[in-house]
Amino acid sequence: MAIFESLKNKRETMYKYRRVKVTNPLTEWNERYVLSIDNHQEIMEALAHFCKKQKIKAGEITGIGAISEATFRFLDPATKKYVDKTFAEQMEITNVTGNISVKDGEPYLHVHLTCSRRDYTCVGGHLLSARINGACELIVTDFGLTHLGRRPDAETGLNLYDF
C-alpha cells in the first residue's frame, strides 16, 4: 500500500504543481509531481521549464487535457526524414505518454500525445508542440539520482538512450 505525503502547492509562471512522495514497501522512493499547466501555455515549453527547475534527469510523464493546436512529427524510416503536421482545432488530450532524459546538458522530452477531435476520430504521434485550451493535468515521476542520456543513432536517425 502506498503512503502519500503531499507537500505544499508551488506556483510558477506557466504551471502549478504539488510534489507527492510515494513510498511503497515493494519499491524504492519515487518523487512524483502533479502538474497543472496554465491555460494557453505551450505544453513542451512548460514541461521543459519544470524539468529543468526540478533537476529531473530521468523520469516519465502521463496525463490528459485539452488543446487548441498541436504539431506532431513523423519519422519516415526509409528516408530518415521527419514530416511535421499541425492540427489547429479544439481537441481533447486522451493520453500523454513520455519520458525524460538529458541531451547536451538539457532536459530531453520524448512525448507522444493522442487527441480526440469533435467527430470522435483521433490524431496523435510524437509531439513537437501543443497549446493548452482548457486544462493540462500531468503526473511527472522523477526516477531520482538516475541519469539517462541520449545519443544519435545513425541506423535509425533517432536520439536513443545512451546507457
| Cell 532524459 -> residue | 101
The three three-digit cell numbers of residue 136, written as one number: 493540462
Question: What is the CA angle 89-95-151, rounded to 5?
Answer: 100
- Predicted confidence at residue 3, as pLDDT, reads 35
- At 163, the pLDDT band (50, 70, 90 cuts) reads confident
The three three-digit cell numbers of residue 84, written as one number: 511535421
Q: Which domains are assigned to the chain?
A: 3-162 (3.30.1330.80)
Q: Is the pLDDT of residue 52 over 70?
A: yes
The three three-digit cell numbers of residue 32, written as one number: 512524483
Q: What's the whole-number mean pLDDT along residues 73-94?
A: 94
The three three-digit cell numbers of residue 11, written as one number: 506556483
By percentage, how much of the chain surpasses pLDDT 90? Answer: 69
In order, the DSSP letters of 97-124 are EEEEEEETTEEEEEEEEEEE-TTS-EEE
- At 22, the pLDDT band (50, 70, 90 cuts) reads low
Separation CA 28–CA 47 (nearest Å): 25
